[in-house]
Amino acid sequence: MTQVLLIFLPILFALLLPMLHKKISRVHTGWFVLLVPFALVLYYASFVPKIGDGPFTSTFYWVKSLDLSITSHLDGLSLLFSLLITGIGTLVVLYSIFYLDKKKEQLHNFYFYLLMFMTAMLGVVQSDHLISLYLFWELTSISSFLLIAYWYKRDKSRFGALKSMMITVFGGLMMLGGFLLLANAGGTYSIRELIANSSTIAESPYFVWMIVLILLGAFTKSAQFPFYIWLPDAMEAPTPVSAYLHSATMVKAGIYLVARLTPLFAISEYWIWFVVASGIITLFWGSFFAVKQTDLKGILAFSTVSQLGMIMAMLGAAGIALHVDSPQQTIFAFAAYAAIFHLINHATFKGSLFMIAGIVDHETGTRDIRKLGGLMSLMPISFTIAAIGSLSMAGLPPFNGFLSKELFLTSMLSLKEFELFNFSTWGPIIPWVAWIASIFTFVYCLYFAYYTFMGKGKVDKLPKKPHEAPIGMLISPIILATLVVVIFFIPNVIGKYFIKPAVLAIQPQLYNASSDVAIHVQAFHGFTPELKMTIGVVLIGFILFLTLKKWQPLYQLQPDKLSLNNLYDRMMRLADVDSKKISELYMTGAIRHYLMYMFSFIVVIVIATLFWKDGFNFSFENTAKIGLFEIIVVFVLVASTVTVFAARTRLTAIIALGAVGYSVALFFVIFNAPDLALTQLVIETVSVALFLLAFYHLPKLSRHEEAMPFKMRNFLIALGVGIMVTLLALSAQSQKLIPSISQYYKDTVYTEAGGGNIVNVILVDYRGFDTLFEITVLSIAGMAILGMIKLRLSKKEKKSNENE
């Protein structure tokens, strides 16, 4: 229970923030906030030594009857993510205390969103229940939306927030669909139980759909190709947010989901293909376009995209281990380990790089790499950190990026050897693409560090006079950079406590305990192909970097119209402007048109149904004889109806309408309905009088006394409606299924109801309920008319009302 409750600790603490912010405004609110992630880090760290003993589960039932629960399930994978979230969270909060000004910023909003995000993220990685996972997943989207738009007065922030919201929520909804299919096929919402039943789920006809839908969710969240476009625009957020959400945690939610569901879906070749292909394409695309960027955070955003693609590709390769014999002995076993290792490394170096970008922005007033340069001597500490982070990202020793890049190349080379699922055709290309992407990675890492800190800078022209950042701002990146170096020297300690338990969660089929994962990482293991590839990367990357100025302009060749951002903008315009145009086409505002739609649709629907259900079955056996009176009255009726339409003046039409009413009354007389005849006569008189009244009050100007113009379209629709009603009446008359109940009324009208006039007795006794509401309708009509006439506003009053 505590375990579940602690997920909610950040958001519960956030409720205190407005008070803290207002009452204790002397102290930066961030200091209070810092306590929360720090406490959580300590709590989760206490699990590290015992995580080998097995998962820790705690459940809180939310809606028991619907089997909805929030289950916190801590195994190696969730624990690793929880530590990343709270650990980097602590550092980011510390950094933000110095980054955000106490007086100028709305800190309570900022930390509220941040803590909300922390809860959401912890919920995502610890949930064992699909629905609660989805719930927290959307909460991350919402809090990310709020954080990106933190400076909501800037257009770009709002644009970026909306874009990330649209894309991630689209993915989230798709994922929900996948989850529902999955829960339907597996019969449970619990991820653990689903993984246990994975073989039955694989037989579901919707198996591929589940994969596609869930992967859409994971890919949109983790900024995979082609959904990465929201991430560069999300860089409008404050830098602590970019460092936290958009490099270390939220974008890894998709990675987490893929890793978590690998044991379930890796049976399928589609899963492996989709994950590997999207990862490789994203890796290449991100690293290729990172060199084009001129904004520091833009470079880092594209590099995040690229690195996420790299982790994704390794996770795809990790799925392959299920399909080979004796996987522990082959190099396929490396992929999952490599993915998790790189995930940790990426969080460390990318977090520190973002913080450095923030410091540079903070101290110089610009993030444009074309204006920066020569800051090395002014900001030595920042430069050191940036150099460590960049070189680690580039994959050079003695930094942790080197180790995971080697493992990455190992696992990509392993794809070449894999023979199932047509990998023999496309597999050999993959290591080459990965290698080229690594070269570009190397180039943009140098590009980032060199053009910011070295070279000839125009320091005097910067918006602010640069100087080294305050120590408080530097603590967090220093810690992260230290980790980058430390991990290089003790990779196997990290491996034992963090990576191997996580690998066990990804590949439970292969290992019984985390100690079974027999991978030992070392910096040098002979002249393997990986090492040669790395040497190649460094050499070619260096040459490319030196000639950067010559070929960088080539990026301008890409036309803006063909970019994915342009596609997104077009789609948004389609959803907004163009769909409005379409609805304006038929929503004309003219009641005439709406009536036309309604009438034509009812004709089509009814006649089509009659045809379809074979409803045309007319019989004239039980019809009564037609007498002379009926013929005469019908003749009068038809004549007066035609007159209504053919009348040249309104007065004629009104009188003809009266004639129609009186002939209907005559019908009632002929058909033995004296009550109806009486009522009809009186009502007709009153309504004709009212028509005349309305006629008299028509405005003078528009009183065109001319016959109704003939319109073919209206005629056809009217004809259709007439035919439809006639057909319907005829077929209803000829196909009576059950006899009428009127005999009962005839038998009991005196004995039961004490009356003689069946019509009236039905009205007040048998079915008095209807009458009660009919007189209510009458009263409402009367009051409405009274209200319309007595309570209408004069023009003067109307104007003054509008102004109010």
Partner 1 sequence: MKMNNVILKTTVQVSFFIIFLFSIHIFLAGHFAPGGGFVGGLLTASALVLLLLTYDIKTVQKLLPINYMMMTAVGLALALGTASISVFFGDAFFKHYFSHFEIPLLGNTELHTAMLFDSGVYLVVVGVTMIIIQSIGGDE
Amino acid at 258: V
Return the number of the residue (397 or 755) whose C-beta is nearest partner 1.
755
Q: Which two structure tokens, joined as six digits, stand for 792?
A: 């209408």
Task: Pull the structure tokens for residue 99.
Answer: 């980054």
What is the smallest separation between the CB atom of 628 and partner 1, expressed in angstroms? 24
Please, what is the end-to-end C-alpha distance for the chain in angstroms? 55
For position 692 contacting partner 1 by CB under 8 A, the verdict is: no
For 54, half-sphere exposure in the C-beta direction (CA atoms, 13 angstrom radius) is: 1
Question: What is the spatial distance between Cα 675 and Cα 579, in angstroms, rounded to a whole number?
Answer: 55
CA neighbor of 306 nearest in space, from 322, 328, 284, 276 = 284
745 binds partner 1 (CB under 8 A): no
Q: Is 698 in the site for partner 1 (CB under 8 A)?
A: no
- Compute, in degrees rounded to 10, the torsion defined by CA atoms 415, 420, 425, 426: -40
Nearer to partner 1, 562 or 777 (CB): 777
Regarding 682 and contact with partner 1 (CB under 8 A), the answer is yes
Q: Does residue 771 bind partner 1 (CB under 8 A)?
A: yes
**Identity of the residue, 707 or 781, whose beta carbon is nearer to partner 1 in the bound complex:** 781
H or E element in which residue 725 lies:
helix 712-734
**CA–CA separation, 487 and 384 (whole Å):** 17
- Given 723, 786, 798, 799, the residue binding partner 1 (CB under 8 A): 786
**Position among 419, 455, 768, 799 found at the interface with partner 1 (CB under 8 A):** 768
Q: Which residue stretch of 58-66, 148-156, 191-199, 685-693 sits at the interface with partner 1 (rule: CB under 8 A)? A: 685-693
| Contact flag: residue 693 with partner 1 (CB under 8 A) | yes
Q: Which stretch in 334-342, 489-497, 568-576, 684-692 sits in contact with partner 1 by CB under 8 A? A: 684-692
Span near partner 1 by CB under 8 A; candidates 301-309, 595-603, 740-748, 776-784: 776-784
DSSP string, 16-55: THHHHHHHTTTS-HHHHHHHHHHHHHHHHHTTGGGGGG--
The residue within the footprint of partner 1, chosen from 15, 686, 719, 723 (CB under 8 A), is 686
Among 582, 781, 798, 799, binds partner 1 (CB under 8 A): 781
Q: Is 528 left (phi over 0), alpha (psi -120 to 50) or beta?
A: beta
Binder of partner 1 out of 204, 685, 714, 734 (CB under 8 A)? 685
Interface stretch with partner 1, choices 148-156, 391-399, 574-582, 752-760 (CB under 8 A): 752-760
581 or 697: whose CB is closer to partner 1? 697
**One character per residue 508-527, x = contact with partner 1 (rule: CB under 8 A):** --------------------
| Secondary structure element (H or E) that encloses residue 69, with its range | strand 68-74
Q: Of 78-86, 152-160, 208-216, 686-694, which part binds partner 1 (CB under 8 A)?
A: 686-694
Contact 119, 11 (CB under 8 A): yes
Query: Per the structure block, which two tokens stand in for 201?
Result: 């789920």
Task: Provide the minimum distance between the beta carbon of 796 and partner 1 in the complex, in angstroms, as a whole number.
Answer: 16
Which of 18, 455, 674, 722 is the binder for partner 1 (CB under 8 A)?
Answer: 674
Nearer to partner 1, 704 or 790 (CB): 790
Is residue 756 involved in binding partner 1 (CB under 8 A)? yes
User: Residue 777 CB, nearest distance to partner 1 (Å)?
Assistant: 10
Residues in Cβ contact with 222 at an 8 Å cutoff, skipping those fewer than 6 apart: 251, 252, 253, 254, 255, 258, 308, 312
Binding span for partner 1 by CB under 8 A among 208-216, 359-367, 579-587, 754-762: 754-762
Cβ-based nearer residue to partner 1, 57 or 679: 679
Tokens of 438: 């690594």
Cβ proximity of 375 and 360 under 8 Å: yes
Q: Select the residue interacting with partner 1 from 690, 708, 729, 793 (CB under 8 A).
A: 690
Report DSSP state, residue 516. Answer: G
Q: Is 747 in the site for partner 1 (CB under 8 A)?
A: no
User: CA distances (Å), 793 to each of 41, 703, 767, in order?
Assistant: 67, 25, 41
Indicate the residue among 204 and 679 with the shorter CB distance to partner 1: 679
Taking CB under 8 A as the criterion, the residue among 772, 793, 798, 799 binding partner 1 is 772
- 789 binds partner 1, rule: CB under 8 A: yes
DSSP assigned state of 249:
S
Of 324 and 669, CB closest to partner 1: 669
Closest CB to partner 1 among 586 and 696? Answer: 696
Region of 137-145, 313-321, 615-623, 759-767 interacting with partner 1 (CB under 8 A): 759-767
What's the min distance (Å) between Cβ of 650 and partner 1?
A: 18
Question: Looking at 202, 718, 721, 763, which residue binds partner 1 (CB under 8 A)?
Answer: 763
Residue number with CB closer to partner 1 (731 or 771): 771
Taking the C-alpha atoms of residue 386 and residue 448, their distance in angstroms, rounded to an integer, is 9
User: Does residue 790 bind partner 1 (CB under 8 A)?
Assistant: yes
Stretch that binds partner 1, among 463-471, 526-534, 559-567, 777-785 (CB under 8 A): 777-785
Please give the biggest Cα pair distance in the chain.
115
Q: How far is CA 284 from the centre of its chain?
A: 26
Q: Which helix (H) or strand (E) holds 268?
A: none
Report how many residues bind partner 1 under the rule CB under 8 A. 36
Would you tell me how many other CB atoms lie within 10 Å of the CB of residue 524?
Answer: 9
Strand 68-74 and strand 56-63: pairing?
Answer: antiparallel
Q: Which residue has the tokens 């957020």?
A: 237
User: H or E segment at 313?
Assistant: helix 296-320
The binder of partner 1 chosen from 15, 546, 775, 793 (CB under 8 A):
775
Specify whether the CB–CB gap between 251 and 282 falls below 8 A: no
| Closest by Cα among 255, 183, 248 to 218 | 255
**Which tokens is 803 given?**
């102004």
Least distance CB 793 / partner 1 (angstroms) = 15
Q: Smallest gap, in angstroms, from Cβ of residue 140 to partner 1?
A: 55
Q: What is the closest distance, in whole angstroms, from the C-beta atom of residue 130 to partner 1 in the complex?
A: 49
Binding of residue 779 to partner 1 (CB under 8 A): yes
Under rule CB under 8 A, residue 783 binds partner 1: yes
Q: Minimum distance from CB of 659 to partner 1 (Å)?
A: 20
Question: Nearest to residue 124, comparing CAs of 26, 253, 224, 241?
Answer: 253
Please return the burial class of 321, using the count of CB atoms within 10 Å of its CB with bins 0-12, 13-18 and 19+. buried
- Per the CB < 8 A criterion, the answer to whether 120 and 140 are in contact is yes
Of 461 and 790, CB closest to partner 1? 790
Shortest distance, CB of residue 779 to partner 1, whole angstroms? 5
Euclidean distance between CA atoms 591 and 522, whole angstroms: 79
Q: Name the residue among 639, 676, 675 with its Cα closest to residue 657.
A: 639
CB of 50 within 8 A of CB of 66? no
Among 424, 782, 793, 799, binds partner 1 (CB under 8 A): 782
Choices 132-140, 160-168, 355-363, 757-765; region in contact with partner 1 by CB under 8 A: 757-765
Q: Which is nearer to partner 1, 492 or 760 (CB)?
A: 760
Closest CA to 237 of 114, 400, 396: 114
687 binds partner 1 (CB under 8 A): no
Does 67 help bind partner 1 (rule: CB under 8 A)?
no
Q: Is 723 in the site for partner 1 (CB under 8 A)?
A: no
**Positive/negative CA dihedral, 257, 262, 268, 271:** positive
Interface pick for partner 1 out of 415, 665, 666, 761 (rule CB under 8 A)? 761
Contact (CB, 8 A) for 337 and 321:
no
Interface residues with partner 1 (CB under 8 A) are 674-675, 678-679, 682-683, 685-686, 690, 693, 753-757, 759-761, 763-765, 768-769, 771-772, 775-776, 778-779, 781-783, 785-786, 789-790
